[in-house]
């Protein structure tokens, strides 16, 4: 029955009988997909959801009917093998899940039974049980926290299994339940919990605890979630609220939204095309058989009682029955091993190459790249748009308190990286300030200004405001102190690096926060009094109005030791300014200027404000706050509404400015990706000035670009906002955004028409973006955005990040990638075609929601330009080859049936046809899919323009497939015609003409050799594995046919080819055909490849030739070789000798044009040199001339071509 239909859940504590009617779920968990009963039916159902498997099942059924020309076992066995492999894999994975579940369910926990704690298994827990969890143990269910061994009923938990964050969180039990800690008191605990129904929201909880006549509101601070562990606390006591699959962690244990690659969707179209070809061939065969069948062919013995399939009197029935005959005969046109091969290739690419790439290894965090799915490897090679978060993605998320503004006075003398970059950009000089003796540089704090350090702030004009500033930093936060209570040894556990940096700053300014309880904060203050005098102040924390992405602010209401009531608030400048009083106008204007200056310097800003509260006003407000906290419905909304009533009439104290430096290699990475044709959009919550300057520092935006800036911080909009009319403000902003979008789009289109070559960039803030994303303006925003090389969206919310991503993904139909490191990036990551998570300072939420995980933004270069591009090329080659080899094989059957009056007679033995895909041609294509590459990893990064082929989908167009299609038709004609012609004149050793099975075996041997050699021709990077796989596949055919021909069985089909191969090998025609047919069949491909390479080379072929000629002319150690060695070495430091070699190799030089032989001259071939196989180095213009024969194949823009003319 459960309680799902009830609005809320009611739990009776320590009362199993009262809970029994509700039939709550048990605490047993099962993550398995199957059990013994459901494994076979459910497993087969999952397999036959694939259209291809369903198709082969239909073919297997058809082959068991009288109309089939092949034995059913030859279709059933391959299908069974494919299904068996998949089911065994499923069973193995499910068995591992079962064993893991078994261990978890049997874990012990202490439950209150009578007057003692008894150990029971997790699976035996019930809702309402009172349990005890010891230090370092995991919570077995979602619990209501009752009591703790720590003072004031608090405990520390680690939530890394839930959100990846390793910093400790504090939980506080209700004071009413602190006494129920020991077994003599725990059995007496009685109460009724009324709470929300089970849901998957990890960070919210709504409920009340009713004890007697008292109703106590419950919040997430009293909830201990399953999967978290207890830290720094001896034990805690709690009541079980949710069990098993109703716990929040289990309700979140759902797979990341399933994504299919674009190429996989195109593959579906290709399979559909093959179905169409199959249907056409079968219809032609059916019509042909009906037209051909006639009693005039007396030798066919078509009497009146002949079976309906061959009865000339009813040609319609003949056509229909033969249609099914041809379906079974031509069924190999759809490759049964295609999906298995692709899955195997992708799996190996992910686990062996991406996950183990040393160039994507981050030594400081000891983190390799991780492919969390193998379905999207080739999608990495076709990315056109990247959507990136800023903080922690482009920057390090290692925050340092750098500057501040207090009461209209700016403090801090440091110079940021962004300032230096801006100075270089504008050609100005910055006057460096020598660090003072008071400068402090430590984690989270990099500040220097003698006016504030060492208590000097008390000599400022407004020391009271300075004190308010420092106290706000020390009190308004949720930081937990750990370790010794001394400034040197204390460690701050914070939800974000920003908070830790601000508390660290308060400590260095003489306001040392060292202890926290659920209701108090202790700060050691050293100021005003005599030097060395220290005062410990205890501030009572009355309310905490927590930060969230909607509020964008955090407030704390505290009571001073002298009884003063103060609200301290910190948050985004636009949010704080909306809530300021009309007083101190001068400070507001000056601070706004300081904020703009901080933003221009690339600093993250927060505004600080306070409000003195009247006790009566506070008491009245607190009643509303308690009511909102007790609400079972819309609690968060009601709390936000109540907070609005007190977070107003604030007095501005000042602003903080925190530096977050760029990650190593970000500018180079962005510049490289831009050269690869990838457009980057930065989506950040920072101020517009900060975002623009970060974009400059990243090489995303430069002075040569035309910039369209659409922001809401205009004088007109500000005047309307000050009137306090939201509707008028909205109309004004909407009108402004519409005008700006249309004028910017018009200018962008004019630039395009004028072909000025001017790059464009768009900068837009969150308020304007909100209106731009509405239906009337979406299309205009999209048109403008895709015309720009870079887009920066600032002050955006997590929802807006996802909306912008979907706008380009769905509106422009472009392949997108989103990259971020925090929980606020999850929706954006899941909205894109590919999501990349950065394992950084903000937990692992982004990584857990991503498809690929890397440690640094710069690793995108290797992930996309190397692994992505290689995967795209490999998979397209594999799919195209499968299409070709199966078409070639099937068409030989078709030509034979045309030759034999559309009789439905098979050309090959049944087992030849069945094993063609799974044995004789399977291994080489997998090797190509794993190892093939056009150019090396280093060349891929040195020539990012190569990546554009993936964006254009150059290797999987219908034009490319048409070439393979024509090749298959041509080769099938050769492979059929030559052996059949040999059968007309050829004789075996007994003087007899070669028969049907002789010709079929000869043709099949030629097919196996031809298609395997064709794969070698298509490979651009031959390894020993290529040769081994091709050789073994051809050898496997001969071994099989020797054994199969030598067997003596009762199978009719097997008797047809008994000793056939031995008879064939005794004839001249077999050996002559075996050499001639592959040569003639592959001659067309050879000529086409040569002509295409000469007149219309691909980009990588130009690189290959350049490299080839370069190596011939310069066998010595080159600068590119040195660079490759340096890249392969990753982040390891070079020795002095290596550094010297690298520097020498990179020096410009003039290469000798002499070959070393006598009588030669620079620029002319030497006769003697040519006799020894040594040619004159090719001139650069030879390569340039051939590259320019097909302008559409040029590498990127003209700026990159100089690299190829410098050979």
Residue whose token pair is 């075609």: 833
* Rounded-to-integer distance, Cα 745 and Cα 781, Å: 8
Q: Which class for 472: exposed (0-12), middle (13-18), buried (19 or more C-beta within 10 A)?
A: buried
Q: In this structure, what is the dihedral angle of CA atoms 975, 980, 982, 987, given to the nearest 10 degrees?
A: 140
Q: Is 604 marked as a binding-site residue? A: yes
DSSP one-letter string for 70-133: S-THHHHHHHHHHHHHHHHHHHHHHHHHHHHHHHHHT-EEEEEETTEEEEEEGGG--TT-EEEE
- Is the CB of residue 1187 less than 8 Å from the CB of residue 1097? yes
Q: Is 825 marked as a binding-site residue? A: yes
Helix/strand/coil for 138 = strand
- Helix ranges (H only) for 526-634 are 573-577, 585-600, 615-630
Q: Is 729 marked as a binding-site residue? A: no
DSSP one-letter string for 1111-1136: HHH--S--HHHHHHHHHHTTTPPPPH
Q: Is 801 marked as a binding-site residue? A: yes
Q: For 653, how many CA atoms within 13 A lie in the half-sphere containing its CB?
A: 26
DSSP one-letter string for 260-287: --HHHHHHHHHHHHHHHHHHHHHHHHHH
Helix (H) / strand (E) containing 544: strand 535-545
Determine whether 449 is an active site residue: no
Q: Is 381 marked as a binding-site residue? A: no
Residue 1, number of CB atoms within 10 A of its CB: 8
- Is the CB of residue 1162 less than 8 Å from the CB of residue 1153? yes
Packing angle, helices 688-697 and 417-426, rounded to 10: 70
* Rounded-to-integer distance, Cα 578 and Cα 588, Å: 11
Helix (H) / strand (E) containing 540: strand 535-545
Helix (H) / strand (E) containing 421: helix 417-426
Residue whose token pair is 């295409």: 1092
Q: Is 499 marked as a binding-site residue? A: yes
Token pair listed for 129? 């049980």
* Rounded-to-integer distance, Cα 573 and Cα 652, Å: 10
Q: Is 795 marked as a binding-site residue? A: yes
* Rounded-to-integer distance, Cα 925 and Cα 1015, Å: 7
Beta strands in 628-754 (DSSP E): 651-659, 679-683, 706-710
* Rounded-to-integer distance, Cα 701 and Cα 421, Å: 12
Token pair listed for 884? 């070709």
Q: Is 1048 marked as a binding-site residue? A: no
Q: Is 105 marked as a binding-site residue? A: no
Q: Is 184 marked as a binding-site residue? A: no
Looking at 129, 142, 357, 389, which residue is catalytic? Answer: 389
* Rounded-to-integer distance, Cα 389 and Cα 952, Å: 26
Paired residues of 763 in beta bridges: 709, 792
Strands 229-231 and 169-172, how do they pair? unpaired
Residue 563, number of CB atoms within 10 A of its CB: 8
Q: Is 1001 marked as a binding-site residue? A: no
DSSP one-letter string for 384-414: -EEEE-STTTTB----EEEEEEETTEEE---
Q: Is 686 marked as a binding-site residue? A: yes
Token pair listed for 966? 């024509």
Q: Is 391 marked as a binding-site residue? A: yes
Q: Is 389 marked as a binding-site residue? A: yes
Residue ranges for the known binding site are: 389-391, 499, 547, 570, 604, 684-686, 795, 801, 821, 824-825
Catalytically active residues are 389
Residue ranges for the known binding site for Mg(2+) are: 389, 391, 821, 825
């Amino acid at each position: 029955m459960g309680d799902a239909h009830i609005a809320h859940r009611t739990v009776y504590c320590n009362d199993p009988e009262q809970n029994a009617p509700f039939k709550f779920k048990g605490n047993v968990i099962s993550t398995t997909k199957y059990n013994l009963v459901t494994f076979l039916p459910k497993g087969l159902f999952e397999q036959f959801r694939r259209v291809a498997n369903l198709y082969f099942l239909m073919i297997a059924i058809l082959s068991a009917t009288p109309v089939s020309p092949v034995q059913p076992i030859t279709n059933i066995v391959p299908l069974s093998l494919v299904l068996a492999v998949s089911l065994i894999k499923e069973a193995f994975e499910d068995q591992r899940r079962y064993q893991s579940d078994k261990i978890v369910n049997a874990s012990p926990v202490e439950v209150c039974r009578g007057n003692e704690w008894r150990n029971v298994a997790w699976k035996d827990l019930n809702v309402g049980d009172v349990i005890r969890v010891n230090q370092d143990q995991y919570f077995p269910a979602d619990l209501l926290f009752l009591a703790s061994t720590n003072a004031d009923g608090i405990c520390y938990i680690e939530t890394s299994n839930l959100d990846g964050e390793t910093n400790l969180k504090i939980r506080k039990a209700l004071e009413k339940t602190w006494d129920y800690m020991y077994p003599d008191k725990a059995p007496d605990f009685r109460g009724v919990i009324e709470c929300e129904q089970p849901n998957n929201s990890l960070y919210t909880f709504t409920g009340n605890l009713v004890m007697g006549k008292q109703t106590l509101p419950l919040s997430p601070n009293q909830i201990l979630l399953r999967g978290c562990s207890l830290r720094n606390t001896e034990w805690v006591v709690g009541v079980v609220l949710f069990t098993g699959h109703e716990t929040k962690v289990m309700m979140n244990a759902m797979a990341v939204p399933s994504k299919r690659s674009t190429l996989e969707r195109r593959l579906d179209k290709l399979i559909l095309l093959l179905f169409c070809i199959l249907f056409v061939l079968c219809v032609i065969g059916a019509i042909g058989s009906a037209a051909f069948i006639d009693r005039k062919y007396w030798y066919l013995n078509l009497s009146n009682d002949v079976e309906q399939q061959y009865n000339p009197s009813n040609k319609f029935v003949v056509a229909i029955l033969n249609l099914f005959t041809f379906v079974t005969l031509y069924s190999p046109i759809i490759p049964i091993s295609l999906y298995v091969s692709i899955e195997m290739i992708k799996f190996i690419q992910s686990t062996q190459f991406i996950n183990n790439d040393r160039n994507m290894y981050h030594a400081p965090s000891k983190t390799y790249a991780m492919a969390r799915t193998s379905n999207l490897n080739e999608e990495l090679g076709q990315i056109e748009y990247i959507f990136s978060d800023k903080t922690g993605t482009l920057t390090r998320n290692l925050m340092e308190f750098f500057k501040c503004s207090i009461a209209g006075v700016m403090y801090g003398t440091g110079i940021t990286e962004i300032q230096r970059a801006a100075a270089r950009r504008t050609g100005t000089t910055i006057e460096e300030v020598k660090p003072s003796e008071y400068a402090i540089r430590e984690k989270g704090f990099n500040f220097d200004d003698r006016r504030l350090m060492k208590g000097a702030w008390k000599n400022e004009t407004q020391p009271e405001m300075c004190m308010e500033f420092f106290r706000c930093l020390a009190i308004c936060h949720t930081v937990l102190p750990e370790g010794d209570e001394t400034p040197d040894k204390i460690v701050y556990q914070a939800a974000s690096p920003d908070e830790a940096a601000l508390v660290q700053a308060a400590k260095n300014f003489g306001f040392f926060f060292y202890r926290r309880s659920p209701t108090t904060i202790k700060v050691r203050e050293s100021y005003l009094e005599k030097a060395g005098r220290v005062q410990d102040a205890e501030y009572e924390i009355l309310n905490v109005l927590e930060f969230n992405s909607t509020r964008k602010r955090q407030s704390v209401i505290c009571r001073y030791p002298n009884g003063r009531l103060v609200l301290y608030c910190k948050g985004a400048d636009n949010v704080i300014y909306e809530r300021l009083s009309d007083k101190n106008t001068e400070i507001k204007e000056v601070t706004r200027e300081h904020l703009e200056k901080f933003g221009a310097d690339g600093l993250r800003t927060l505004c600080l404000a306070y409000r003195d509260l009247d006790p009566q006003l506070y008491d009245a407000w607190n009643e509303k706050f308690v009511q909102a906290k007790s609400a079972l419905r819309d609690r968060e909304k009601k709390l936000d509404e109540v907070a609005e009533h007190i977070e107003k009439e604030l007095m501005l104290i000042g602003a903080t400015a925190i530096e977050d430096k760029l990650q190593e290699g970000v500018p180079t990475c962005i510049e490289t990706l831009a050269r690869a044709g990838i457009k980057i959009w930065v989506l950040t919550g920072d101020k517009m000035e900060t975002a623009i300057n970060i974009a400059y520092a990243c090489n995303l935006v430069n002075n040569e670009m035309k910039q369209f800036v659409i922001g809401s911080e205009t004088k007109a909009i500000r005047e309307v906002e000050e009137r306090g009319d939201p509707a008028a403000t909205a109309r004004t902003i909407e009108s402004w955004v519409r005008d700006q979008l249309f004028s910017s789009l018009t200018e962008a289109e004019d630039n395009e028409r004028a072909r000025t070559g001017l790059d464009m960039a768009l900068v837009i803030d969150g308020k304007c973006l909100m209106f731009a994303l509405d239906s009337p303006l979406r299309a205009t925003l999209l048109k403008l955005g895709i015309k720009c090389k870079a887009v920066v969206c600032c002050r955006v919310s997590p929802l807006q990040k996802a909306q912008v991503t979907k706008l380009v993904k769905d509106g422009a139909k472009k392949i997108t990638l989103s990259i971020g490191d925090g929980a606020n990036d999850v929706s954006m990551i899941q909205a894109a075609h590919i999501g990349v998570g950065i394992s950084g300072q903000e937990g692992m939420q982004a990584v857990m929601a991503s498809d690929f995980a890397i440690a640094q933004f710069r690793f995108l270069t290797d992930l996309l330009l190397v692994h992505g591009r290689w995967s795209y090329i490999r998979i397209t080659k594999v799919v195209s080859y499968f299409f070709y080899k199966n078409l070639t094989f099937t068409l030989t059957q078709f030509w034979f049936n045309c030759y034999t009056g559309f009789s439905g007679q098979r050309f090959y033995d049944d087992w030849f046809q069945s094993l063609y895909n799974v044995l004789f041609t399977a291994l080489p294509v997998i090797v190509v899919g794993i190892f093939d590459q056009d150019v090396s990893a280093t060349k891929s990064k040195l020539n990012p323009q190569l990546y554009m082929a993936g964006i254009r989908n150059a290797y999987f167009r219908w034009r490319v497939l048409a070439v393979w299609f024509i090749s298959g038709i041509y080769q099938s004609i050769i492979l059929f015609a030559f052996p059949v012609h040999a059968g007309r004149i050829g004789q075996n050793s007994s003087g007899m003409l070669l028969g049907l099975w002789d010709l079929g075996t000869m043709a099949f041997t030629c097919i196996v050799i031809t298609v395997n050699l064709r794969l070698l021709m298509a490979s651009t990077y031959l390894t020993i594995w290529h040769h081994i796989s091709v050789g073994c596949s051809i050898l496997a055919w001969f071994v099989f046919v020797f054994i199969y021909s030598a067997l003596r069985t009762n199978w009719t089909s097997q008797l047809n080819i008994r000793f056939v191969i031995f008879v064939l090998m005794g004839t001249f025609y077999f050996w002559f055909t075996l050499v001639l047919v592959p040569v003639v069949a592959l001659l067309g491909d050879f000529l086409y490849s040569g002509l295409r390479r000469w007149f219309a080379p691909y980009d990588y072929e130009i690189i290959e030739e350049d490299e080839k000629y370069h190596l011939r002319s310069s066998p010595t150690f080159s600068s590119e070789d040195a660079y490759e060695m340096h890249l392969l070495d990753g982040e390891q430091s070079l020795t002095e000798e290596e550094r010297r070699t690298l520097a020498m190799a990179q020096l410009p030089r003039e290469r000798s044009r002499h070959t070393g032989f006598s009588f030669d001259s620079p620029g002319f071939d030497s006769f003697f040199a040519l006799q020894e196989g040594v040619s004159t180095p090719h001139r650069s213009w030879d390569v340039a001339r051939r590259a320019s024969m097909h302008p559409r194949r040029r590498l990127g823009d003209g700026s990159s071509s100089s690299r190829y003319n410098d050979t």
